[in-house]
């Protein structure tokens, strides 16, 4: 476990440097902030955990420092993950601005409902500072559901969006899908995990390392250039994009002047029609 933790710390730092060196932080700002947070917090938490096993570390309450630092990072990561999902949405749906705008609005409401449901379902059995862990796991559980839904959406709509497997937005979603699976494992078995040498901890750490390996490969590989999307005007997704673009836009207002008395003009039109009909009949009889 110590070797896996050390490998995780190295991979977080290397991935953050690689992400910034390739200029990907301009496209995915929330993702770059997330990588920086994990690259800084992971070695610090490891130091606090190792210090807790020493006498001088216990004198400085290293265990409490690790507990607060771990769950503070956990909550901050959950908040950043929400913005990362929005960034992946925008990158994947960049060819459809109307659908992107509507999807982000729906996603925000779904996120609010998911957070409310998760926090209300927390047992709140712990009191005091231990309550932080219940709230943190509930918040991360709601974000994990959103990550899995995002990955499922991209997998089902790749053909319609002309999105390839090599696209970085899909790679980010795939990595967070594995990470959310790891979070579900920890949240489900947290009451049965007795130590850091528990088998579930090895499963969790293995999924984290697999996620970091996937992201590293996606950052190293050259991303394919997305070509302009051409589609027939009668395609369904094109109509959806036009409808979504029209939502919320009132359009140009045109002032239409109504006649003063529509009934009077209707009567005049009828009289004129009768006169014309009589004249036509008179001409036909003369002929």
Burial of 142 (0-12, 13-18, 19+ CB in 10 A): buried
Which one, of 34, 25, 17, lies nearest residue 168 by Cα?
Answer: 25
pLDDT tens, position by position, 62-81: 777 888 888 888 888 888 98
pLDDT tens, position by position, 86-100: 888 888 887 777 777
Q: Which helix (H) or strand (E) holds 162?
A: none
Residues in Cβ contact with 38 at an 8 Å cutoff, skipping those fewer than 6 apart: 12, 16, 73, 77
SS3 (DSSP) at 13: helix
pLDDT tens, position by position, 6-55: 899 999 999 999 999 988 888 899 999 999 999 999 888 888 877 777 77
Helices marked H in the chain: 2-21, 29-52, 55-59, 62-92, 97-120, 131-156, 158-161, 168-189, 199-220, 236-246, 262-286
| CB of 18 closer than 8 Å to CB of 219 | yes
pLDDT tens, position by position, 136-187: 777 777 787 888 888 888 888 877 777 888 888 889 999 988 888 877 776 6
Q: Which residue has the tokens 């060819």?
A: 95
pLDDT tens, position by position, 249-286: 544 444 444 444 444 445 545 655 665 566 566 665 65
CA distance 149 to 151: 5
Residues in Cβ contact with 63 at an 8 Å cutoff, skipping those fewer than 6 apart: 52, 57
Greater confidence (241 vs 220) lies with 220
CA distance 139 to 147: 13
Per cent of the chain over pLDDT 90 is 13
pTM for the complete prediction? 0.74
């Amino acid at each position: 476990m110590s070797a896996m933790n050390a490998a995780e710390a190295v991979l977080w730092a290397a991935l953050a440097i690689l992400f910034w060196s390739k200029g990907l932080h301009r496209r995915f700002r929330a993702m770059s902030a997330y990588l920086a947070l994990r690259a800084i917090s992971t070695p610090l938490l490891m130091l606090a955990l190792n210090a807790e096993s020493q006498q001088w570390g216990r004198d400085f309450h290293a265990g409490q420092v690790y507990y607060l630092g771990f769950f503070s990072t956990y909550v901050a990561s959950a908040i950043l993950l929400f913005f990362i999902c929005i960034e992946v949405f925008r990158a994947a749906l960049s060819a459809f601005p109307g659908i992107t705008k509507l999807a982000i609005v729906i996603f925000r409401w779904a996120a609010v409902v998911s957070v409310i449901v998760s926090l209300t379902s927390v047992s709140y059995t712990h009191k005091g500072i231990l309550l932080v862990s219940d709230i943190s796991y509930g918040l991360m559980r709601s974000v994990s559901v959103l990550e899995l839904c995002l990955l499922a959406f991209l997998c089902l709509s790749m053909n319609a969006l002309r999105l390839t497997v090599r696209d970085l937005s899909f790679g980010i979603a795939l990595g967070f899908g594995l990470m959310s699976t790891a979070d579900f494992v920890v949240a489900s078995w947290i009451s049965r995990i007795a130590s850091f040498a528990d088998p579930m901890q090895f499963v969790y750490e293995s999924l984290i390392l697999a996620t970091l390996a996937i992201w590293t490969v996606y950052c190293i590989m050259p991303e394919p250039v997305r070509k302009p999307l051409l589609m027939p005007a009668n395609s369904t997704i094109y109509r959806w994009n036009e409808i979504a673009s029209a939502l919320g836009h009132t359009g140009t207002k045109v002032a239409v002047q109504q006649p003063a008395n529509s009934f009077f003009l209707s009567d005049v039109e009828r009289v004129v029609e009768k006169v014309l009909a009589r004249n036509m009949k008179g001409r036909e009889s003369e002929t």
